[in-house]
Amino acid sequence: MNDSQYNQIADDLLLAVEEAIEDCGVDIDFESTSGLLTLTFINGTKIIINKQAPLHEIWVATKFNGHHFAYENEQWHDKRGTDEFWLFLSKAVSLQAGEEITLTA
C-alpha cells in the first residue's frame, strides 16, 4: 500500500469511528484533529486513536494499554493479538464507559 492509499483508508476509519460513537447511544465526547481522534468518557478517561503514517498503522491508547493496528486483508488487525479493530474498540469503549457497547463501521 502506498502513502496515499494508507491515508485514505486510515481517514475513512477515523470518520467511521466518529459516526459509530455518535450512533452508539452513550454519552461519549470526541474531538478530531489532523489524524488524531480523542474519545472522552463521563468518568474523565480517554481513548486516543491516531494515524502513524510512516508505519502505515493506526495506534490506539486506552486507560489500560496501547495497541498498534496494521491493515491486512481489508481489515485493521492488532499486531499484539488477534483482535480486529472494531472488536477491540468495542471492548475498550465498553470498559471505559462502564457499559456494554458494540461499535461497527
Task: Say if 54 falls within a structural domain.
Answer: yes
Cβ atoms of residues 40 and 29 within 8 Å: yes
Task: Say if 50 falls within a structural domain.
Answer: yes
Give residue 81's pLDDT: 78
**Percentage of the chain exceeding pLDDT 90:** 87
Give the DSSP letter string of 15-27. HHHHHHHHHSSS-
Give residue 80's pLDDT: 85
Give residue 83's pLDDT: 87
Task: Say if 19 falls within a structural domain.
Answer: yes
Number of domains in the chain: 1
Q: Which residues of the chain have pLDDT under 70?
A: none
The answer, as to whether pTM is greater than 0.95, is no
Render pLDDT for 74-87 as a digit per residue (tens, 0 to 9): 999 999 877 899 99
Task: Say if 105 falls within a structural domain.
Answer: no
In the chain, count of helices (H) and strands (E)? Answer: 2, 6
Give residue 31's pLDDT: 95
Q: Which domain holds residue 70?
A: 3-97
Give residue 42's pLDDT: 94
Give residue 91's pLDDT: 94
Give residue 9's pLDDT: 96
Alpha-carbon gap, residue 21 to 101, rounded angstroms: 10
Give residue 105's pLDDT: 85
CATH code assigned at 87 = 3.30.920.10
Question: The cell 455518535 sits on which residue?
Answer: 22
